[in-house]
Amino acid sequence: MRIKQHIPNWASGKASSEKFGNLNELLKIDWVARWEENPEFYQFSLSKKENACSQYKYFLMVELKNGSEWWVVGYISGANIDRLALPEWHAPGAKNKEGKKQGS
């Protein structure tokens, strides 16, 4: 698997790209691991990119403040992403395929 670092439009810099084989290796990548140092860190999660037309089919998300704040950490590609055993992230209030709000 591979993760490409997300750099927001308002920031400058070149995105890093790293290979990893499992969740432990992913969480040891320095620019991923730094998020856990934030005192408001809650958890990492995965968000599937709907209608993704690139090789990156998932976002690695970081959730802060008990999940009330979130940021994209990077884009993940490769096989066996489901084996990462991270919770699935949904935007609060987002509607599922049946048109119901998440958590309803």
pLDDT band at residue 41 under the 50/70/90 scheme? very high
pLDDT at 96 over 60: no
Contact 86, 61 (CB under 8 A): no
For the stretch 61-90, pLDDT in tens is: 999 999 999 999 999 998 888 889 999 987
Maximum Cα interatomic distance, the chain, rounded to a whole number of Å: 40
Quote the pTM value.
0.80
pLDDT of residue 101: 47
CB atoms within 10 A of CB 81: 15
pLDDT of residue 21: 95
